[in-house]
Structure 1
Amino acid sequence: MYKNYQIIFFGTPEFAVPTLKALIKAGFIDIKFVVTQPDKPVGRHHSKLVPSPIKKESQKAGIDVVDDITKIDPTGADLGILVAYGKIIPKKLINSFPKGILNLHPSLLPKYRGSSPIQVAILNQDDETGVTIMQLDDEMDHGPIITQEKVKLDKTETAGDLHDKLAKIGADLFIKILPDYIAGKIKPKEQDHAKASFTEKLTKQVGKINWKKSKTEIEAHVRAMNPWPGAWTTYKNKKLIIWKMSKDGTPKEVQLEGKKRMPYSEFLKGNKGFNINDFS
C-alpha cells in the first residue's frame, strides 16, 4: 500500500545509522537521497577527510548523498526523517514536505531538550528515559509529539550503552509508526512547554570530576562521561581519566595521559603513592 512513498533522510553520526538501516529494509518507502554533514578533516594536520557514518552507510546501500543542505531539492518527497543531523533545518524546507519532517530525540520530551539528554539522564540518576518521535518545527526539540517509548535505567549503563540502546529503539519505533503516520491515523500532540528542561553541549571541561560530590554522584558522572569526554581529574600535572568506578567510589579502570587504559590495580602498581581518597 505504501510502496514508493518518497522520503529524504537527514542524519550524520552513529546514532542515526540504525534508523537509516531500518528504513532501507522497511520495504514500504524509498529514500530519494540522504543529507549529511560534510566530510570531517582529521589527523595531525587535518589533511585527511573522513565521511560521516551516515555517508558511509548510504554509499554501501547505493543511496545518493548530499552534504550541502542549501542545494537540496525536496520536490517529489512526501516526508523528511531526521536523526541527529547536527544543523538547523530552515522553516521553508520543513514546510516543503507534505507530511513535514519527523525527528528522533533520545529523551522523553519536553524533558531534556538539547544536545546531551543521554548524559544528563545518567548524571541525574533517573529511573527512566526514552525516545520521542516528533514533528520538526523551527525551535529546538519543540514540535508536536508523534509517539514516545520509555526505557528503564538500571544505574549501571554508560552513555555509550544507552546511546546504542536508544538508537535501536528509535529505529524500531519509526518502522512501527510510519505506516499509520503516512495514512494520517496519528494525531500529533503538542508538548507541555511549561515542563521543558534543557541540556547543554558536552565539552571536555564538562568531564572534570567534582570531588566534593557524593560517591554515588561521582560514579554516575563516570558513566555519563563514557565514552566521551571521559570523567577526568589531574594527577602529577597529567590528566587521569576514570573509565569505570564501583558504587563505593573505587576506580576500576583508569587511563593516565599518554598511557593506555588499564585496570586500577595495575595503575596502583606503578603509582604506589596514589590514593583516590586524597581527592575528596
Structure 2
Amino acid sequence: MKDKVKIIFFGTPEFAVPTLKALINAPFCEVQKVVTQKDKPVGRHHSKLVPCAVKRVAQEEGLPVIHETPPQSLPWQGGRYDLGMLVAYGEIIPKKIIDSFPLGILNLHPSLLPKYRGSSPIQAAILNQDKETGVTIMKLDDKMDHGPIIAQETINLNQTETAGDLQNKLAQTGADLLIKILPDYIAGKITPRAQNETKAISTKKLAKQDAKIDWNSTAHPPEPLIRAMNPWPGAWTTWRHKKLIIWSMDIDGTPKELQLEGKKKMPYSEFLKGHPGFSTHDCV
C-alpha cells in the first residue's frame, strides 16, 4: 500500500479501545481524528466530568478529539479523509457524513449479523445460551446494523462467560479481524454482501428491570441471566424487602457471589455466616 489510509474513528466505550489501538499501530493506517461522546458527569452531585475510554486513549496518543453528538456537519469535507471506522459510538451517523468518506464508514458489531442487531447482542447470546457468536464488520448505511457485510469471525461459547468476559474477547477478535481484512477492503478486493433480512433479529437497550431474576422462568433461567447481566446492571432479586444482586451462580443454582443492598460483594460462604437462614426459595 503506497499511501497510508486516512481514518476518522468514531467510538466511545472500552469495547472500542482495541480497535482504535490496532488502527493507531497499523503501519498502513493514519488515524487523524477521533469523534466521541462528551465527558459524563459522575459523583453524588454530578460535579465531576469523566472522559470515556476512547477519549482517554486518543489523548494519550495526541489525537484531536471532536465532541459533536450526533455529528451533523463535521470539518472534514473535501476528500481529506479516506475511511471512517465506527465501534460502539452510541449515535446515529447522518447519511451525508457517511457519504463524505470515499471508502465509506465501517462498523464493528459484536454479533453474527443479521442476528442480534441493536444494543445488547452480547447479553442476548448469553441469555439464549447460544453455542457460538462472533463479530461482524459491515459497511455503514443509514439503518441500524443493516449495511452489507465485509467480514465475520465466529467464536465458540462454553456457557461460563459473563457479558464482561465476552465483550473483552469480542473486542479483541474484532480488532484483529479488521487489521487482517482492511488492506483487501481498501484495495477493492472484497465485495460486500447484503444481509439476509429474513434472518434478522433485533435486541433492545437494557434497563435495570431486565436484570430482575424470575425464579420460575424457563425461557430465561437464573444462571445465564446472571452471567448476561454481569457487570451491568447486575442480576437482582428481593430478599426480606431488600435488593440482592447475585453476581455469579453455579450451574446447580447455588449462588457464588452476592451483594445485599448497601453492602459489599461477598462469597456465598461469607454471606451465609451473616445470614444463616438465607435461601433463594425465599427470594421474590
1:18 aligned onto 2:18: yes
Q: How many Å apart are 1:183 and its aligned residue?
A: 0.3
Q: Is the 8 A contact 1:114 1:198 kept in 2?
A: yes
Corresponding residue to 2:162 among 158, 161, 165 = 158
Q: Is the 8 A contact 2:73 2:97 kept in 1?
A: no
Q: How many Å apart are 1:215 and its aligned residue?
A: 10
Q: Is the 8 A contact 1:118 1:162 kept in 2?
A: yes
1:113 alignment counterpart: 117
Q: How many Å apart are 1:3 and its aligned residue?
A: 3.4
In 2, the alpha carbon distance for the partners of 1:235 and 1:43 equals 28
> Unmatched 5+ residue regions in structure 2?
none
Name the aligned partner's letter for residue 13 of structure 1. Answer: P
Q: How many Å apart are 1:45 and its aligned residue?
A: 1.0
- Normalising by structure 2, we get a TM-score of 0.96
Q: Is the 8 A contact 1:254 1:263 kept in 2?
A: yes
Corresponding residue to 1:70 among 69, 72, 81 = 72
Query: Following superposition of structure 1 onto structure 2, how do residues 131-280 of structure 1 map, counting pairs within 5 Å?
Result: 131-214=135-218, 217-279=221-283
Q: Is the 8 A contact 1:2 1:179 kept in 2?
A: no
> Deviations for 1:60-108, whole angstroms, at most 9, x for unmatched residues?
0011000112352223111100000000000110011111000000000
Q: Is the 8 A contact 1:127 1:153 kept in 2?
A: yes
Q: Is the 8 A contact 1:145 1:190 kept in 2?
A: yes
In 2, the alpha carbon distance for the partners of 1:116 and 1:139 equals 17
2:97 alignment counterpart: 93
In 1, the alpha carbon distance for the partners of 2:130 and 2:139 equals 26
1:7 alignment counterpart: 7
In 1, the alpha carbon distance for the partners of 2:278 and 2:63 equals 54
Q: Residues 41 and 194 of structure 1: is their aligned pair in 2 closer, same or farther, counting only changes over 3 Å? A: same
The count of aligned residue pairs is 280
> Deviations for 1:220-268, whole angstroms, at most 9, x for unmatched residues?
0010000001010011221100001000001010000111100111111
Aligned CA-pair RMSD:
1.3
In 2, the alpha carbon distance for the partners of 1:250 and 1:213 equals 17
In 2, the alpha carbon distance for the partners of 1:274 and 1:178 equals 54
> Deviations for 1:20-52, whole angstroms, at most 9, x for unmatched residues?
000000010111100000011111111111111
DSSP-derived class of the 2:221 partner: helix
Runs of 4+ with >6 A deviation: none
Structure 1, 214-223 or 225-234: larger mean CA deviation: 214-223
- Normalising by structure 1, we get a TM-score of 0.97
DSSP-derived class of the 1:70 partner: coil
In 2, the alpha carbon distance for the partners of 1:77 and 1:238 equals 54
DSSP-derived class of the 1:243 partner: strand
Corresponding residue to 1:79 among 79, 83, 106 = 83
In 1, the alpha carbon distance for the partners of 2:247 and 2:57 equals 30
In 1, the alpha carbon distance for the partners of 2:198 and 2:219 equals 33
In 2, the alpha carbon distance for the partners of 1:238 and 1:279 equals 10
Q: Residues 127 and 2 of structure 1: is their aligned pair in 2 closer, same or farther, counting only changes over 3 Å? A: farther
In 1, the alpha carbon distance for the partners of 2:201 and 2:223 equals 23
Corresponding residue to 2:128 among 124, 127, 130 = 124
> Unmatched 5+ residue regions in structure 1?
none
